[in-house]
Structure 1
Amino acid sequence: MPDVGIVLPVYVQRRDYLRAAIRSIRNQLYRNFKLVIVIDGVTPAVQQVVRMEAKRDKRIQVIAYAQNKGTEHALNVGFDYLNRVPGIRYLTWVASDNIYHNNFIKVLRRNLRLSPDHVGLVYSSMKLIQGAGQFLSFTNPWQNQPKEKLLDYNFIYGSFMYKKKYAAMAGVYEHTPVEDYDYWLKLTEHCGIKYVPRALVTYRMFAPLSNSLKIKTDPASFRFNRYKYQLVKHLARMRRGLAPETSIIFSVNGASEQMINRLEELLNQNYSNYRIYLIDTSPDGNVAQAINAIPDPRIDYVSIPFASDQEVRQSAINYAITPFVFFYSLDGERMDAGYLENMAARLRAMPYVGPANQMANNQLYMSATLTAG
């Protein structure tokens, strides 16, 4: 009887990549698994490969939809099926363009089985290749992080397995194309994690037809992915009752290419635990329309027509109720991706001066000494 359930969602994919992915699962050393392949929008090439592989292995169940409904839908359909299979205790899902080493299931399952009960998710290192197979590297040991660090960035990637009982607590997959990251954030609110320092998957970076390539080459896709990535972080912080650490006061007098570029610079920071108060001092409030193209849950738009710098700073006290405040300007120095992260670390190391009722003034004083520019 199988105790491991696996979902493989697929929409469009190269035949050779899909065939290699399925066969790498079929050839696993651990044999007691059920593989559900969800064809998320039938195409002749994909259907032919999947049906042929399924005929050769009774452990494969195929579910096909005529229309594409998205990765999150395909995953939820697959796991709904597996949740009704008696004996399934461990779950994972695999991508249609990766290759899974023959000990992938065996090693992850063993680590889950032998770990304390509170450990509900295990994940491993991977071998990285580009597209057709050019070797890039093994992922680094910096993957080995406490689960709290998931709020900073996703370090789990594509080699993982989790316990069914904790999956029931986490709920469904949502927020494509970051459905995996969102799920790890929800899952780890109920269980611990464990890192397995072994490469168990060959992961294709920027493969044809992949989301990673689309995000890399298409600015609109990059912005949408960033929005979703920050949205699931925001939702996780709300669920956990965590307030932002930093308020960023960004005053602009109208929309411009420079303003958009500086805003993008902020949004691309490694550090993300902040709110941006974008204060528009232009007479007609034309900044609102300009920022619609770059949505982000961390941005609060505020219109104060004709406001002076002093008035902006005074009004900031009403918005900036976080431990740190950062005044950002178009004329400030350019920031690399680690700038705000380093600045926040410096502020945390500074002693707090003053009673709680003077917090706002103290915040503004502390941050003003580190303002860019």
Structure 2
Amino acid sequence: MSPSISILITTYNREQYLSAAIESVLAQTYSDFELLIWDDGSTDRSLEIAHTYANQDDRVRVVAASHQGIARTRKAAIAQMVSKYIGWVDSDDILAPTALAETAAVLDAHPETGLVYTDYLDMDTNGQIRGYGSRCRIPYSPQRLLVDFMTFHFRLIRRDVFERIGGIDESSQYAYDYDLCLRLSEATQVRRLPKPLYFYRNHPGNRSLEYKQQQILWSQIAIANALQRRGLANRCEIEVKLPEGRFILRRKESVPGGVGSREWGVGYKPELTNRGKKFSIAGGVGSFLVALPLATLLQGNPVQAQAITPANDGTKHDRFSQW
């Protein structure tokens, strides 16, 4: 009989952090899971470390593959997973002991929900906690997800819904997970579990300038594709300014309904309010949303992201922290 949950760890030259990630999964209070560790052609000791754990625990499987990159690797790995619920842990991060138990309970209790996600804590290279994740402060809605990637970590996904929307689109490359969440938000209910059940490690390897620039560019494409699917492409357009990675969501000048119209597309209306006023949206992916009056956007003026400001907890939030 297949386990209820399949968890994936993909790794590429992460020997420094891999053991901690694996052990955090094996320490789960919920035991009915399989762990697939997929090595993406590592040249360090990552594969050796993975095999050590597989020899000790029959819930662990290891696949050694040639280097393909994160999106292709994750898609290929998920194709080999067998459970009704699926999720993944990055090879440099840590999963809280009750994460699987608590997220599986949400999906079990709410069959209409296809994705549940948790809050997370930021930690440094050495595993010291640096504060509550900035994205946790962002309330979820399918509309707000257009500019704010709050469905960050940890996510548990219903497998049949994942398959129904086509799974991971490897052409989305550096923004494959953001693109996936956008498509899931259009097909199923999404629930937030407001507990920090994931530890996200910040270190030089995931903060490189080239990596961030690629995420910004591919996120712009993911947003544009979402606007097209939602029937908004003829009304709104997304722009990005480099190198700072500032996104602009602009109302196109020729819009059916004229100035002041609230009709943004089929089934879509802005949902944000502030003292009873309707607001439009603009901002950077993975950051706090900047809200301005709808009339400002309808007048054709672009709405831009603002600069990052430090939070009291040491994280970056409120005005567009970048990936």
TM interval, shorter chain, is 0.7 to 0.9
Describe how 1:207-218 pairs up with structure 2 within 5 A. 207-210=203-206, 213-214=207-208, 218=209
Q: What residue is the counterpart of 1:351 in the other structure?
A: none
Q: Distance in 1 between matches of 2:237 and 2:51?
A: 54
Match of 2:118 among 100, 120, 124: 124
Asked if 1 retains the 8 angstrom alpha-carbon contact of 2:142 and 2:185, the reply is yes
Asked if 1 retains the 8 angstrom alpha-carbon contact of 2:24 and 2:94, the reply is yes
Could you tell me which amino acid in structure 2 is paired with residue 272 of structure 1? L
Q: Distance in 1 between matches of 2:157 and 2:237?
A: 36
Could you tell me which amino acid in structure 2 is paired with residue 98 of structure 1? D
Asked if 2 retains the 8 angstrom alpha-carbon contact of 1:247 and 1:321, the reply is no
TM-score, with length taken from structure 2 = 0.75
SS at match of 2:296: helix
Match of 1:233 among 223, 237, 242: 223
Structure-2 change in CA distance of 1:197 and 1:248 (3 Å): closer
Q: What residue is the counterpart of 1:255 in the other structure?
A: none
Describe how 1:305-316 pairs up with structure 2 within 5 A. none
Percent of aligned positions with the same letter in both sequences?
Answer: 23
Residues 257-292 of structure 1 deviation map (CA, whole Å, 9 limit, x = unaligned) = xxxxx95489613x43557xxxxxxxxxxxxxxxxx
Could you tell me which amino acid in structure 2 is paired with residue 9 of structure 1? T
Could you tell me which amino acid in structure 1 is paired with residue 145 of structure 2? L
Could you tell me which amino acid in structure 1 is paired with residue 79 of structure 2? D
CA apart distance, 1:225:
1.8
SS at match of 2:205: coil
CA apart distance, 1:203:
1.0
SS at match of 1:176: helix
Is 1:202 matched with 2:196?
no
CA apart distance, 1:163:
0.5
Q: Distance in 1 between matches of 2:199 and 2:151?
A: 14
Q: Distance in 2 between matches of 1:169 and 1:62?
A: 27
SS at match of 1:137: strand
Match of 1:96 among 91, 94, 99: 91
Could you tell me which amino acid in structure 1 is paired with residue 154 of structure 2? S
SS at match of 1:224: helix
Gaps of 5+ in 2: 260-282, 304-323
Structure-2 change in CA distance of 1:29 and 1:241 (3 Å): same
Residues 187-208 of structure 1 deviation map (CA, whole Å, 9 limit, x = unaligned) = 2221010011111011112x24
Q: What residue is the counterpart of 1:43 in the other structure?
A: 43
TM-score, with length taken from structure 1 = 0.66
Structure-2 change in CA distance of 1:248 and 1:171 (3 Å): closer
Asked if 1 retains the 8 angstrom alpha-carbon contact of 2:224 and 2:238, the reply is no
Query: More relative contact order in 1 or in 2 (CA 8 Å, sep 6+)?
Result: 2
Describe how 1:92-171 pairs up with structure 2 within 5 A. 92-115=87-110, 117-139=111-133, 141-171=136-166
Describe how 1:1-373 pairs up with structure 2 within 5 A. 1=1, 2-15=3-16, 17-65=17-65, 67-82=66-81, 85=82, 88-115=83-110, 117-139=111-133, 141-173=136-168, 174=170, 175-205=172-202, 207-210=203-206, 213-214=207-208, 218=209, 220-243=210-233, 245=235, 263-264=241-242, 268-269=246-247, 271-273=248-250, 320-322=253-255, 341-343=290-292, 345-347=294-296, 366-367=299-300
SS at match of 1:171: coil
Q: Distance in 1 between matches of 2:238 and 2:225?
A: 20
Asked if 1 retains the 8 angstrom alpha-carbon contact of 2:15 and 2:44, the reply is no
Asked if 2 retains the 8 angstrom alpha-carbon contact of 1:245 and 1:274, the reply is yes
Asked if 2 retains the 8 angstrom alpha-carbon contact of 1:13 and 1:46, the reply is yes
Residues 167-218 of structure 1 deviation map (CA, whole Å, 9 limit, x = unaligned) = 111213222221110111112221010011111011112x2422xx11xxx2
Asked if 2 retains the 8 angstrom alpha-carbon contact of 1:72 and 1:179, the reply is yes
Residues 201-240 of structure 1 deviation map (CA, whole Å, 9 limit, x = unaligned) = 11112x2422xx11xxx2x443322110110111111122
| Runs of at least 4 residues off by over 4 Å | 244-249, 340-344
Q: Distance in 1 between matches of 2:119 and 2:200?
A: 10
Comparing 224-233 and 234-243, the one that deviates more: 234-243
Q: Say what the alpha-carbon RMSD is for the aligned residues.
A: 3.0
Structure-2 change in CA distance of 1:240 and 1:59 (3 Å): same
Structure-2 change in CA distance of 1:346 and 1:130 (3 Å): farther
Residues 312-332 of structure 1 deviation map (CA, whole Å, 9 limit, x = unaligned) = xxxxxxxx42467xxxxxxxx
Q: Distance in 2 between matches of 1:39 and 1:89?
A: 23
Gaps of 5+ in 1: 250-261, 276-319, 325-335, 349-362
| Structure number with bigger Rg | 1
Asked if 2 retains the 8 angstrom alpha-carbon contact of 1:143 and 1:195, the reply is no
Number of aligned positions between the proteins: 271
Residues 52-111 of structure 1 deviation map (CA, whole Å, 9 limit, x = unaligned) = 01111111111111x3101111111221111xx3xx211101100111111010000001
Q: Distance in 1 between matches of 2:139 and 2:192?
A: 6
